[in-house]
Structure 1
Amino acid sequence: MDFNAPEGFRSGFVSFVGRPNTGKSTLTNALVGEKIAIMADQPETTRHPIRGIINREDAQVIVVDTPGVHRPRTLLGERLNDVVKDTFADVDVIGLTIPADEKIGPGDRYILEQIRSVKPNTPIIGIVTKLDKAGKDTVGERLLELHELLGPDSEVVPVSATEKIQLDVLLDILIQALPEGPMFYPEGHVTDEDTETRISELIREEALQGLREELPHSVAVQVDEMHPDPDNPQRLNIYAVMYLERPGQKSIIEGPGGRRLSGIVHRARKQIIELLGQNVFLDLRIKVLKNWQSDPKALGRLGF
């Protein structure tokens, strides 16, 4: 596994944790330099720990992107929290994300308690995200609050992933906190997510664009089949199913005359073509799986 790492090489696993929608996925994508974690306007859009790999001459950083930690309301919520705790157990450094435009609250303290109960000795770096969304005074307030929360010896860094501000500074701080170790993945490798998962996440992201709060948790996408088109071997046929919890949600996703669904397919297809570098036919069907978030059997079937 040691892919010829030079002396003094640092490597390890970093996890960004925080309340839902604090910019963890955007930060992962900006640091890795390729779209790996899905981004949407709603909280809790990430459901799998996605590993993005950052290669530098002196280090390899494997970013584990987790779902937002929250007090669970459904069985899915409980399972997502378990995923986060399992992820904590395997990481070398944790980045606690706090958005610049929101005060630190009970949710953030709850997360810090969870981290410290699972990994009491793991270094925690404070990250104030969304620097571009707040004025200097507000950012200053947030940095002071975060320093107070984490303790006087903590490293706290403000960043903007969308404007690419201070990302190098953050990366240097993360690398300094990692142990010396081997290269875990060959250079050029950016994620260990399998292709089907990445495709289903891209479709789900497009489905979530512009939706109101109530729908994100109810949307799951699964790729059923992928194979070259028998009549056109250059084209890949992808058959996917979107699972929803109620018939009313189906009408929302389809939109008037099915136009919203067509838009989802069109945009997702473009992203999949970019990901795979080949022409794609995408067939997307919708199935209603009643209250799947609270049904252990359905959750198992959908990979949770």
Structure 2
Amino acid sequence: MSNQEKFKSGFIAIIGRPNVGKSTLLNRFVGQKVAIMSDKAQTTRNRIQGVYTDNEAQVVFIDTPGIHKPKHALGDFMLKTAFSALSGVDVVLFVVNATEKIGPGDRLIIERIKNVEVPVILLINKIDLIEKEELLSIIASYQDEIDFEAVFPISATEGDNVPELVQHIKDIIPEGPQYYPANQVTDHPEYFIVAEFIREQILHLTREEIPHSVAVQVQSMQRNEDDKVEVQATIIVERKSQKGIIIGAQGSMIKRIGQNARREIERLLDDKVYLDLWVKVQKDWRDHQFQLNEFGYKRDDY
């Protein structure tokens, strides 16, 4: 770029109900996996920043926990985290699911974003799962509620209309500096992402048996004598029965969790990994602020 002053940058909040595809979209934006994906609600607990950079602009995307009615201290943390992302951003992306009618969760978000003073773009995701003629009525049902700066029907999994969306974001964000190096795709430390990858496999493999009463702590990451990155991590659950499910018969489940997570971690680090997993019971950890702090859900994050 000949004139560096014309470089643009902006912070973009991605908000929406659980399971509308926000994490998939974030990963699509940055071109690799930085957020975990699951068909379970409330997969994302902290705000995860993904960074897109090209010669013209740098766009910092903030993924947020799905908006839901909190049932415990962790849920309360997640809700406050999601809404706090609306302050200090340049654009808000409101993601909805094309296959579901507008519901109370959507209206809760709409009430909060009505007073936002930055452009709000409606993203109707999962258009690959509906007939094209359904789209106009879906758009109209949301436009009756609020006046959006723009509407983009997209498919985060297939990539439909995502390049056009990125171009539109670049058009409307202000001139600004490059906050992160061009090759950096997230501001989270590797410890955090490694823990999230392990948690993703637990959600995927245990299905309904282990709900969201699981946390993962990475104790250490260091190179061992075999020149592998040795990762020591603890899986925390709330009950003994959950510990048994995660370990599985003759350790079969924890072995599968470890194998799948190791593949993802090796892809992230571009290195050989030795993953050592332990399971620990901490009763009702989601309702104790000290333990929430210990596992990375700190009150000063919102």
**TM-score category (smaller protein):** over 0.9
* Contact in 2 for aligned 1:14/1:93 (Cα 8 Å): yes
TM superposition score normalised by structure 1: 0.93
2:265 pairs with 248, 264, 272, which one? 272
Deviation at 1:5, TM superposition (A): 7.1
1:149 to 2:145 alignment? yes
Structure 2 matches for 1:67-216, cutoff 5 A? 67-117=65-115, 120-151=116-147, 154-213=149-208, 215-216=210-211
TM superposition score normalised by structure 2: 0.93
* Contact in 2 for aligned 1:220/1:244 (Cα 8 Å): yes
Q: Deviations over 1:28-79 (max 9, x none)?
A: 1011101001101201011121111111222111011111121211110111
Distance in structure 2 (CA, Å) of the matches to 1:83 and 1:298: 17
Deviation at 1:121, TM superposition (A): 0.7
Other-structure match for 2:277: 284
1:235 pairs with 215, 228, 235, which one? 228
2:56 pairs with 48, 55, 58, which one? 58
* Contact in 2 for aligned 1:20/1:43 (Cα 8 Å): yes
Distance in structure 2 (CA, Å) of the matches to 1:195 and 1:4: 35
Deviation at 1:213, TM superposition (A): 4.3
Deviation at 1:184, TM superposition (A): 1.3
1:250 pairs with 226, 243, 246, which one? 243
Other-structure match for 1:47: 45
Stretch deviating more after TM superposition (288-297 or 135-144): 135-144
* Contact in 1 for aligned 2:8/2:58 (Cα 8 Å): yes
Distance in structure 1 (CA, Å) of the matches to 2:149 and 2:91: 12
Deviation at 1:4, TM superposition (A): 9.6
Other-structure match for 1:29: 27
Deviation at 1:212, TM superposition (A): 3.5
For the residue of structure 2 that corresponds to 1:111, the secondary structure is helix
For the residue of structure 1 that corresponds to 2:187, the secondary structure is coil
* Contact in 2 for aligned 1:147/1:156 (Cα 8 Å): no
* Contact in 2 for aligned 1:243/1:287 (Cα 8 Å): yes
Q: Deviations over 1:7-47 (max 9, x none)?
A: 33221100110001110000010111010011012010111
* Contact in 1 for aligned 2:205/2:257 (Cα 8 Å): no
Stretches of structure 2 lacking an aligned partner (at least 5 in a row): 298-302
Stretch deviating more after TM superposition (167-176 or 156-165): 167-176
For the residue of structure 1 that corresponds to 2:178, the secondary structure is coil
Which residue type is aligned with residue 220 of structure 2? E
Distance 1:4 1:89, change over 3 A: farther
Other-structure match for 2:12: 14
Equivalences, count? 297
* Contact in 2 for aligned 1:236/1:281 (Cα 8 Å): yes
